[in-house]
Amino acid sequence: MKYLASYSPELLDQVRQLIEQNRLGDYLQKKYPERHAIQTDKALYEYVLDLKTTYLRSAPPVHKVAYDSKLDVIHRALGLHTAISRVQGGKLKAKKEIRVASVFKEGPPEFLRMIAVHELAHLKEHDHNKAFYRLCDSMQPGYAQLEFDLRLYLTHRDLVGKTRAE
């Protein structure tokens, strides 16, 4: 349960019970039955840009948004924000990029939004502090619950993958 390590022992016990009773998948399917239709990098860029325009107009522009198939393996991250610095005509220009793990092409729309909100919040708040999480919650009410459920989703995904591999 690597995705849930920071949660309380009581909560982890509840998750273990769902896993032992083979009900975690059912819980997630019932709570998040839909899959989003944002399948291309262009559609993802437009989706993230719309969120940015709605909630973070004064934040620096985002120049690129893309799905990244290597992200969860290499960086152990679900999303990543970077600033690529380049020299252009004697000036140093920083271009902001957001990458989302490709595994979320198939996920519920709530999880894609949670990841997009998380990465956009880094445009204003670099650290995972109280201000960062307040900003996330203002863009996505119930952010903390979504983050927990996303961790449950990843745990279930790992368990299903192990079952298929055996």
- Residue ranges per structural domain of the chain: 36-165
Give the DSSP H or E segment for 21.
none
- What's the one-letter identity of residue 72? D
pLDDT digits (tens, 9 = 90+) for 55-83: 999 998 999 999 998 876 545 566 777 66
Give the DSSP H or E segment for 98.
strand 91-101
d(CA 105, CA 39): 6
Grouping H, G, I as helix, E, B as strand and the rest as coil, residue 108 is coil
| Average pLDDT, consecutive stretches of 10 residues, N- to C-terminus, the chain (166 residues) | 91 96 96 97 97 94 91 62 73 84 92 96 93 97 96 92 52
- Position 90 scores a pLDDT of 81
Beta-bridge partner residues of 160: none
User: Which of 34, 57, 38 has its CA nearest to residue 46?
Assistant: 38
- Position 77 scores a pLDDT of 61
Q: Does domain 36-165 have CATH number 3.30.2010.10?
A: yes
Q: Determine the angle formed by the axes of helices 41-55 and 109-121, rounding to 10 degrees.
A: 60
- What's the one-letter identity of residue 158? D
